[in-house]
């Protein structure tokens, strides 16, 4: 296994992409104390201060068609949530598809980026940001973000979470690759789904549609019900949802 540690890096996702472009090594992982250009989804900036968080990325190359890559973010979210529970006892919830929240404040973000040909995946970079020991957040994030320390009241050893995450990810990722879908982890994922049986607003551009989330299907799409009981599937990445 190739692990690269950095005191400072632009972004661990960018770093793993650079490395994987040269040579893909299974399990290659980058972890940094601080990121200067931490990236979130939708081109957003990801605040990554020194020492208090886990900023890490790794690459996998599943022998599956490219359209299945988005399911890996759900696999990852479940593995992170389980690791946090084991190490800290804290119950987190997953906001579909892959944000992890505690009391509706975000504690983990996941950014997956893929390089693929028509029918094969070259590699998928999975980046995970976990707010671990921050004592506070800048005013503009205060209502939206939390840390394991703020939520649980005790400082957490970051390496314990990384180690536990590795164990869970290996387990769930193997099941996912064998099945080629999320059938083997769907039940566990749904138990943690914050949106389950709750109203969600599906946001697409300027439109805002109210539905009730009922779970996920084995491809990781969100299943929602309208007022007449009709069930629709929402694909990850296509729209965003709000509670
Ligand atoms: C999001 O919720 O928008 C995703 C945030 C992902 C942040 C992590 S931190 C480690 C890795 N490197 C990055 O630049 N981003 C991801």
Q: Report DSSP letters for 35-99, one per residue.
A: ESS-B-GGG-B----TTTEEEEEEEE--SS-GGGTTHHHHHHHHHHHHHHHHHH----EEETTTE
Q: What's the CA gap between 15 and 21, in Å, rounded? A: 10
**% residues pLDDT > 70 (the chain):** 99
Radius of gyration for the chain, computed over Cα atoms and rounded to the nearest angstrom:
17
DSSP 221: P
Instruction: Tell me the average pLDDT across 36-43.
Output: 95
CB 41 within 8 A of CB 113: no
Atom of ligand 1 nearest to the CA of 99: 2
Instruction: Tell me the average pLDDT across 200-215.
Output: 90
**What pLDDT is stored for residue 115 in this prediction?**
97
pTM reported for the whole predicted model: 0.95
**What pLDDT is stored for residue 242 in this prediction?**
80
Q: What angle do CA 36, 58, 24 make, to 5 degrees?
A: 115
CB 100 within 8 A of CB 106: yes
pLDDT in tens, 76-87: 999 999 999 999
pLDDT band at 207 (very low <50, low <70, confident <90, very high): confident
pLDDT of 7 above 90: yes
Helices 158-179 and 71-88: angle between axes, nearest 10 degrees = 140
**What pLDDT is stored for residue 185 in this prediction?**
98
pLDDT of 59 above 90: yes
**What pLDDT is stored for residue 241 in this prediction?**
76
pLDDT of 203 above 90: no
ipTM greater than 0.85:
yes
How far, in whole angstroms, is CA 77 from its chain's centroid? 4
Atom of ligand 1 nearest to the CA of 44: 3
Poorest-confidence range of 10-24, 94-108, 181-195, 224-238?
224-238
pLDDT of 239 above 80: no
Give the Å distance between the CA of 162 and the centre of ligand 1: 15
Q: Which residue has the higher pLDDT, 45 or 238?
A: 45
Q: What's the CA gap between 70 and 81, in Å, rounded? A: 18
Helix, strand, coil abundance in the chain, percent, nearest 5: 30, 35, 35
For ligand 1, which residues put their CB under 6 angstroms from it? 11-13, 35, 38-41, 44, 46, 48, 55-57, 99, 109-111, 127-129
Which residues make beta-bridge pairs with 129? 55, 109
Atom of ligand 1 nearest to the CA of 38: 14
Best substitution site from 10, 18, 38 to test ligand 1's pocket, by max atoms within 8 Å of Cβ? 38
Strand order in the sheet with 29-35: 3-9, 29-35, 53-60, 121-131, 105-116, 99-102, 93-95
Give the Å distance between the CA of 111 and the centre of ligand 1: 5
Per residue in 148-162, is it b (16+ CB within 10 Å) or e — as a string? bbbbbeeebebeebb
CA-nearest of 42, 40, 71, 72 to 53 is 40
Cα atoms in the Cβ-side hemisphere of radius 13 Å centred on 150:
21
The mean of the pLDDT values for the chain is 95
pLDDT of 206 above 90: no
């Amino acid at each position: 296994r190739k692990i690269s540690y950095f005191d400072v890096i632009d972004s661990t996702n960018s770093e793993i992409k650079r490395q994987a472009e040269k040579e893909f090594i299974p399990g290659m992982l980058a972890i940094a104390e601080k990121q200067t250009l931490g990236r979130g989804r939708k081109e957003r900036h990801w605040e990554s201060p020194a020492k208090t968080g886990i900023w890490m990325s790794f690459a996998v190359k599943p022998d599956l068609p490219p359209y299945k890559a988005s399911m890996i973010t759900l696999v990852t979210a479940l593995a992170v949530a389980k690791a946090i529970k084991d190490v800290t006892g804290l119950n987190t919830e997953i906001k579909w598809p892959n944000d992890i929240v505690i009391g509706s404040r975000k504690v983990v973000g996941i950014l997956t980026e893929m390089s693929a040909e028509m029918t094969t995946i070259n590699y998928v970079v999975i980046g995970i940001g976990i707010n671990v020991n921050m004592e506070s957040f800048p005013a503009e994030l205060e209502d939206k973000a939390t840390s394991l320390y703020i939520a649980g009241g005790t400082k957490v050893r970051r390496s314990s979470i990384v180690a536990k995450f590795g164990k869970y990810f290996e387990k769930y990722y193997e099941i996912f690759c064998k099945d080629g879908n999320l059938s083997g982890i769907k039940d566990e994922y749904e138990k943690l789904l914050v949106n389950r049986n709750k109203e969600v607003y599906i946001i697409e551009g300027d439109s805002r549609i109210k539905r009730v989330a009922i779970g996920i299907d084995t491809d990781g799409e969100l299943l929602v019900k309208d007022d007449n009981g009709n069930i629709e599937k929402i694909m990850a990445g296509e729209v965003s949802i709000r509670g």
